[in-house]
Structure 1
Amino acid sequence: MIEDGKKAVVQAGRREFLPIALLGGAAGAAWVFLALAGEVVEGEMRAFDERLLLALRTSTDSSNPLGPPWLEEVGRDLSALGGTGVMVLLVVSVTLFLALARRQAEAMTLTAAAMGATAIELTLKGWYGRPRPDLVPHGARVFTASFPSGHATLSAAVFLTAGALLAHAEPDLRLKVYFSSLAVLLTVLVGASRVYLGVHWPTDVLAGWVLGAGWAATCWGAALWLGRDARSRRNDRGL
């Protein structure tokens, strides 16, 4: 009985603390993004971006990324994971599954993460209007401005939110770690592929990661907070 009581207290403490921690992390991410954006606008990151971008190209021909030809093809495949088509298919499929499973709150959280991230990154692209890298030929077609990276932003928001949803629903610690790690790995691979293909400056991707992770934390924190309030109202009514 005592042990059960201790576990209940710990779980209640986590439910209270986690939303606050997530929203605090989102505020920190916003600060980091604005600081990085300021450096980019002032041109302070140009030398860093150029060095890293050229380091991923052969010294004799900047049109060739480092590594064998198949590695460039892998880079395109990884990049496609963060593209609009794949993301729309993924979000719609998972959202429909969650809705059919009567997990509407989680479905709304994932939808908000995807739609919000898309709106935010497109707005910021228009605001900053940073040109795409001009040092190397692009390994993929591009249609929008460079800062922040849309692929990095959207993949971070969607993968991290989906990973959090899966980890939260799974009682096994090993599976929690697996889902969380997989979400982070996919996010990193998509962003890194954009730099490797020469379609983004490294700071575009860094900003996208920060922005997407911050928005994912906002959505997840808000969902937990609203869920907590809903449980409190049910308890007050004796349900």
Structure 2
Amino acid sequence: MRNLSLALALLVFILATLEFLANVHAVDRILLFGLPDPFGAIEGEGRIASLAWSFTALGSPEIVASFAAAMLAYAVLARHFSAAIFLIVGIAGGAVAGYVAKAAFAWLRPHHLPGSYSMLHTSFPSGHALLAALLFGSIAVFAIRATPYRLPKICALGAAIGLTVLVGLSRIYLRTHWPSDVIAGWAFAYLWLSLATAVSFGALSSASTAVFRSRSNAVAEGDDPPLRH
């Protein structure tokens, strides 16, 4: 099931990339469901626009960095070093990789807004959608690994997906991104977090288990366990 979801995420990212490179946006306009093309952020002060700006702020670099720093500090102080590595690889590494991708795609095809060639303002993939997915996905991973019960896991995953979707939809509603930009950000984040989870928890857990078993065998055979230096 996990391999299928990874393959599906990769396929979605590839299809979104092709939509971006084709620069036709036929599928994008279907997914807009009647909303105008994203040729500039709306400046309205209505209730919906205000909510959209509030949700979109959850994916801003400042908010994501603040939450990530707080989570990293907790992981280090609690000596959850595998979790700390996961945060560094997952959120920080994913953000860097995402913005490298933005720069690469900006070189292939400039942003649809005239004169906007800065890496931070390129269109594909959506940085806010990517960062929100990395942040809320990481929180969900923490919550899921912290409890053996199914219901809290479902609630954590549902909340992470819901907030991530709201951030992405806000980017579309505010006319700052095409749907394919947002979908690509989500897919990229899922693939990256899957890699970070495997590297941080899978590899480190296996290594820790191997060290524990070797020390246990040494004690059982009457040898002194190796000292830490």
RMSD of aligned alpha carbons:
2.6
The aligned runs of 1:12-91 (5 Å cut-off) are 25-26=5-6, 28-44=8-24, 46-53=25-32, 55-57=34-36, 69-91=46-68
Confirm or deny: 8 A CA contact 1:113 1:216 kept in the other structure: yes
What one-letter code is carried by the residue in structure 2 that aligns with 1:113? G
Alpha-carbon displacement from aligned partner over 1:206-233 (angstroms, at most 9, x marks no partner): 0000000111111112223221232133
Matched, 1:127 2:104: yes
What one-letter code is carried by the residue in structure 1 that aligns with 2:131? L
Matched, 1:102 2:79: yes
Give the Cα–Cα distance (whole angstroms) in 2 for the partners of residues 214 and 94 of structure 1: 21
* 3-state SS in 1 of match to 2:121: coil
Structure 1 unpaired stretches of 5+ = 1-20, 135-141
Structure 1 residue 154, shift from structure 2 partner? 1.5
The aligned runs of 1:1-239 (5 Å cut-off) are 25-26=5-6, 28-44=8-24, 46-53=25-32, 55-57=34-36, 69-129=46-106, 130-132=109-111, 143-226=120-203, 227-238=205-216
Structure 1 residue 236, shift from structure 2 partner? 2.7
Counterpart residue number, 1:18 = none
Structure 1 residue 50, shift from structure 2 partner? 3.3
Confirm or deny: 8 A CA contact 2:19 2:180 kept in the other structure: no
Structure 1 residue 63, shift from structure 2 partner? 5.3
Give the Cα–Cα distance (whole angstroms) in 2 for the partners of residues 83 and 171 of structure 1: 32
Counterpart residue number, 1:8 = none
What one-letter code is carried by the residue in structure 2 that aligns with 1:208? G
Structure 1 residue 89, shift from structure 2 partner? 0.4
Residues paired across the two proteins, number: 205
**Counterparts in 2 of 1:169 and 1:25: CA distance versus 1, 3 Å:** same
Structure 2 unpaired stretches of 5+ = 114-118, 218-229
Structure 1 residue 153, shift from structure 2 partner? 1.1
Give the TM-score of the pair, scaled to structure 1.
Answer: 0.76
